[in-house]
Amino acid sequence: MLLTILIILLFVVVSYYSEMDLLGLWLVLLVTHGIYVKLAGDTFQNAPAIMGLYVIFAVFTRRGRRYWRHKKLNKSVLLLFAGLFITMIITGFLGINPENSMFAMHLYMKGFVLTILIYLFVDSKKDVEKLARYYLAGAMIGVAWIAWEYFTDTMSGGDEWTKRAAGLRADPNETAMLLVVGIPIAWYLALNAGTRHWKAAYYAAVPLIMWGMVLTGSRGGLLALVLVIAMIIMNKPSVKKVLSSLLLLIAVITTAPGVLLDRTDHMVGEEKDGSIQERTDLLFTGLKVVAQKPLLGVGPGNIGQAIVAYKYRGHAEAEVPSYLFGEAFTVAHNLFLEMFGELGILGGFLFLGVIFFSLQGYLKAYRRARRKGEYFSLAYALLAAMAGFLFAGLFLSQGKESVLWFLLGMGLAYPASSRRRRKKRKRVTDSQTSLSYS
């Protein structure tokens, strides 16, 4: 209870000084939520949603009055989000388990709100960098917690034979993806640090985050990590960068506990754990569910139940036997199957539309930075994180993960903020011109 009161007071105090810092503080809370639940108990379970309501109120009442008139937002993006929100509500009420869908929509709403707030109120590169720093702070809190769990032998993920770090979330895979996103951000901040001390600190964050990710034992996280490192190298390739990255990756994987290597060996070695076959079956059964419920899907949060019902009863809407309730809480292990299966074809394509506009914003900002001679820009760092997240989405269910929506919002904010800067420069130029004629 004391921890909850202290966090609420911190939010209230910060809201009086800076709306963007308040948004960043909420981002840290979303990233590290699992830690606080372990410390404060289930009473802290809904804290991100409650504090999110306060952030909405504070940001709209303070920044909204000053910025709303000067917005030139992409109406297509707003329509996509409106369509996605309406589709989610309709599919939730008409899906196979409306009660479960209500809880799933509560999880989705945190990500939606975060994306929309970033899109509406992130106004400059300075704002983007501030939120990136807050995200890295949350990731490093997660690494510290994982280190504490490891050295005290209290890692909560996995089973009694394979201990896995899951401190930021109850799920090791989600924890791994939260950490991987911090690597390109730390790299960018290191390259642009103002002092040697900060540069050293940001560079040190990279192997520490990698070490924490390895402790999760997430194979999907490992694939995302490899892609992120490859994008860092490809941005401005050199033999030195390739060799140093490979040596760092090998050193971290081999010096950390062997949970990741063991799980990888069980996936492809002689003692296979059947995970590849299991996820292949999930994919094909999920596709059959989509074909059976193509328009409205099975409703948010219901893809696991639908897959089990189809597998044992031949229909997505069939009643699941009581002895299969535990299996019914399985996940699709595929972000895109999750969206198309739960929200139908319409909702799935609306989600792809949000991804398209976000990637477009990152690419435009990256090209502008390259023309100015900035090779590894923050836009490219976030694009690398986004690519890693989406690639891991082929193997993991990440639709309700707030960090995915954070990355989407940052990509959407880039073109909006650049338009506002051009409009501001135009007003300054026009005023100067009028003064010169007067």
pLDDT at 363: 92
> Which of 121-125, 179-183, 305-309, 434-438 tops mean pLDDT?
179-183
pLDDT at 432 over 50: no
Share of the chain above pLDDT 70, in %: 80
pLDDT value at residue 198: 92
**Domain chopping of the chain, boundaries:** 2-422
Residue given tokens 């991804």 in the structure block: 355
Element (H, E) at 158: strand 157-158
pLDDT for 427 beyond 80: no
Q: Mapping DSSP to helix (H, G, I), strand (E, B) and coil, where does residue 164 land? A: strand
264: confidence class by pLDDT, cuts 50, 70, 90: low
Cα distance between residue 195 and residue 219, in whole Å: 36
Q: Of the segments 106-115, 160-169, 403-412, which one has the largest average pLDDT value?
A: 403-412
pLDDT of the residue at 66:
53
Locate tokens 């990355």: which residue?
A: 407
Note the pLDDT tens digit of each residue in 266-323.
554 444 555 677 778 888 888 888 888 888 888 898 888 888 887 777 777 666 655 4
Identify the CA nearest to 176 among candidates 405, 399, 388.
Answer: 388
Closest Cα to residue 170, out of 1, 400, 324, 404? 400
**Range among 31-40, 158-167, 322-331, 341-350 with highest mean pLDDT value:** 341-350
Which has the minimum average pLDDT: 246-250, 290-294, 349-353, 402-406?
246-250
pLDDT single digits (tens) 314-362: 777 666 655 455 554 567 788 899 999 999 999 999 999 999 999 999 9
Is the predicted pLDDT of residue 160 greater than 70, yes or no?
A: no
Q: Which two tokens stand for residue 60?
A: 């709209």
Strands (E) located in 301-368 = none
* Count of positions (residues) in the chain: 438
Q: What is the pLDDT of residues 68-111, one digit of tens each?
A: 545 567 788 889 989 999 999 999 898 888 888 888 888 888 88
Comparison of pLDDT for 211 and 324, the residue scoring more: 211
